[in-house]
Structure 1
Amino acid sequence: MTVFACSGCDTVLTAPVTRVALPVLAHHVHGNGVTSMGVLMEPGTFAVDPEHYGPPWRRWAEVGADEARARGLYAPVFSVSDGPSHAVVLAPGDVRGTVFIPERNDGFCCGLDGRDGPNLACVGCGRPVATRIDDCSLWQAVWVDPRAVHRLDDVAGPPLAVAWEAVRQERAGTPPAEPSGLWSPLWEAAVGAALARILAASGGRPVTVPDGPVAETFRRSLDLLLPTDAPARSLVLAGPGLPSVPTDLALVPRHPVTGETWVASRSADAVPLEYDVWRHLAFHHGRWPVPGAAPMPDLAFREDPPPFAPTRPFRPDRSVFLRTLARLPAVREPWLRDVYDHVVAVWEGPFW
């Protein structure tokens, strides 16, 4: 486990935390309302974002294609961060030894959005060290400036499960619908990211999906975004605990701790999907992620409460789809760049 301390005075700034994979929701903006979203990170964990984070920001025209490509951006985006790379993100409840910087407590309407940079200072020396985020539409988190802290490793504490079998036993997956009747933001973001990777791996050919939960989640989007007049490639769910099935594309889990992608067969191209969504798709049989997609037998799940029913058809998250696609080298291919530009310009299709 790790504790982060101020580089200026060694004041301890966090509880002991363990590193996990950066969540797909890390830069996700969802809806609007009088309260902020939930907490991004689970208690006792942290993640590292390899990309640049926070202000100052530069427009795409100022950055230019060459510099953007060096940063891993292969299609135009609205703006590019000139903040530090490898920022550390953790739950607000795991922060210690900080105070707010009054003149930097700006937000859009309901909380703090970090527009002016770090808004938390070390209580020991006053050095700006982190940015608290809790405005509406944003996931609650604290982003620690890597230039302002150093790590104290090997703090005593239980390690997180790493083996795939241990993860399967400890994490049951996330249902697709929330009690409010809305689709889970995790599902919308995770499917948006996976959809971008499926398109990149398709080579511009149609992708077929067997009937079932994966088809109900991905088929409509694939049919709208890919051509229909070419030999198709197949996509199936694969991973730990599932039988091996011949396929062209394998939708496999992304490890929630290490971030590694499950290794598919040599004959299939692996497409990673957030573990908690993959787990539900793979093992929650009979509970399709679309209302009424398949009735359950009378005696099935009789001890379970009825699943929450979403009030509208499923749509992947458009912003996560575009953010992911812009960072895939395949987007430089003319056909995929046309898809990207169309989704940027037009609010329709699978996202609306």
Structure 2
Amino acid sequence: MLTARLSRVALPDHADQKYGHDLLPALLEPGTYSVRSEHSEPPWEVDAEARGVHLQVYSLSYGPPGLVGVAPGDVRGTALIRERCDGCCCGLDGRSGSNLACVECGLAVATRVDDCGFWQVVWLDPRAVRPVGVDGPAHPVVSWGALREVYPGTPPVEQPGWWSPRWEAAIAAALAHLLAVSGGKQVVVPDGPVAEAFRKALDTLLPTGPSARELVLAGPGLSAATPDIALVPQHPQTGEVWQCGAEAVVPLATDIWMYLAFNDDRRLAPAVAGMPDIVRRDDPPPLLPWKPFRPDPGVFLRTLARLPAAREPWLRAIYDHVKDHRYSLPCF
């Protein structure tokens, strides 16, 4: 057995995110695994219109599809292959392919990634491993109605005032889907947290006009109004997208959607006469970011390139514009 007992979850939006120069935590929670359907390991070749990529990208992997991602702490019975322990800075980045071998047979079975800027994960090679059933109850799939209790929401700001990289990745992926269903028309967003996340990018990338479409939150626990475009949760275990009567739906990671839907960020107004000195203030105020929110441009471009709508000229123009000006656009 090369892993502990695991239950499958959907592949996170930040699986391919490169973020900063610090050590990031594990990509997946302990006791879970996720399967990557795409090719994603060496060898790397020049791009081609293949395997669901609809726009020109720098390179594509010709490694095996179906890699199984697990948390590094859930791996058992492996050892590092010294000659494949390449990295850029503080750890392993997987550039040389499989760098973990089975201690019993010596076969290369997985690739560990833990360098700075990468979410830490071990990718099991599907050509070398196979799933094994175990006795005991499996983790049940959480119902839509119970999701709020299990996934209360991820705050958008982390210490000491940085935007959460999970937010930057999830909003970027949702933005790509949102542009694809917009039809190139203006999308308006009501004031509130959704507007803070999406409005600047939408106003920058889409034209203004009288035939605007509206984006609103929809999902379990919210009113059943039928919007033009609904921003809905994507089930964290199954990957299923919440369905409603909207003309189009845009999937968003459940933990981010939950925070947008149910967190109250309103600030309390100060009392006129102030607070007595004897009152204990044991609830610190929420963290405030030190810069405006910007979606992750790498996640945005990668997601958009894999949507069939990206072949439309107007959306291809947006892709090229972001790719060429990602560091100068106000929304990226």
**TM exceeds 0.5?**
yes
Deviation per residue, 1:18-54 (Å, 9 max, x gap): 0001111111110113xx2111000000000110121
Question: In structure 2, what is the Cα distance between the partners aligned to 1:155 and 1:101?
Answer: 32
Residues 115-194 of structure 1: pairs in structure 2 closer than 5 A: 115-194=95-174
Secondary structure of the structure 2 residue equivalent to 1:279: helix
Which residue in 2 is equivalent to 1:296?
268
The CA deviation at 1:166 is 2.0
The question of whether the paired residues in 2 share the 8 Å contact of 1:263 and 1:270 is answered with yes
Q: Which amino acid aligns with 1:333?
A: E
Residue 131 of structure 2 aligns to a residue whose secondary structure is strand
Residues 126-159 of structure 1, C-alpha deviations (whole Å, 9 max, x = no match):
0000000000100000000011001112442451
Deviations 1:279-318 (A, max 9, x none): 0000002x1xxxxxx533559xx87431111110000000
Counterpart residue type for residue 188 of structure 2: T
C-alpha separation in 2, matches of 1:158 and 1:207: 42
Report the secondary structure of 2:215's partner residue. strand
Aligned mates of 1:82, 1:155 — CA distance in 2: 36
Q: In the alignment, residue 310 of structure 1 is paired with which amino acid?
A: P
Match of 1:30 in 2: 19
**8 Å contact from structure 1 (residues 161, 167) kept in 2:** no
CA distance in 1, matches of 2:127, 2:149: 38
Matched, 1:100 2:80: yes
Identical pairs, percent: 56
RMSD after superposition: 1.5
Aligned pairs (5 A) from 1:309-328? 309-328=288-307
CA distance in 2, matches of 1:96, 1:155: 18
Aligned partner of 1:232 in structure 2 is: 212
Q: 2:236 aligns with which of 237, 247, 256?
A: 256
Change (3 A) 1:155 1:349: farther
Question: Once the 2 structures are TM-superposed, how far is the Cα of residue 230 of structure 1 from its aligned partner?
Answer: 4.6
* Selected match of 1:49 from 25, 36, 50: 36
Alignment of 1:73-88 (within 5 A): 73-88=53-68
Q: Is the 8 A contact 1:316 1:350 kept in 2?
A: no
Q: Secondary structure of the equivalent of 1:52?
A: coil
Relative distance call for 1:30 and 1:351 in structure 2 (3 A) is: farther
CA contact (8 A) 1:18 1:44 kept: yes
Residue 181 (structure 2) aligned to one of 181, 201, 221: 201
- Cα 1:199–1:132 shift into 2, 3 Å: same
Give SS of 2:101's match.
strand
Give secondary structure in 1 for the equivalent of 2:233: strand
Unmatched tracts of structure 1, length 5 or more:
1-11, 288-293
User: Structure 1 length normalisation: TM-score?
Assistant: 0.88
Runs of 5+ in structure 2 lacking a partner?
Answer: 272-280
CA distance in 2, matches of 1:88, 1:350: 37
Q: Does residue 1:329 correspond to 2:304, yes or no?
A: no
Amino acid at match of 2:155: P
Cα distance in 1 between the residues matched to 2:72 and 2:296: 25
Partner of 1:291: none
Give the whole-Å Cα distance in 2 for the aligned partners of 1:186 and 1:159.
Answer: 24
CA contact under 8 A between 1:162 and 1:258: conserved in structure 2? no
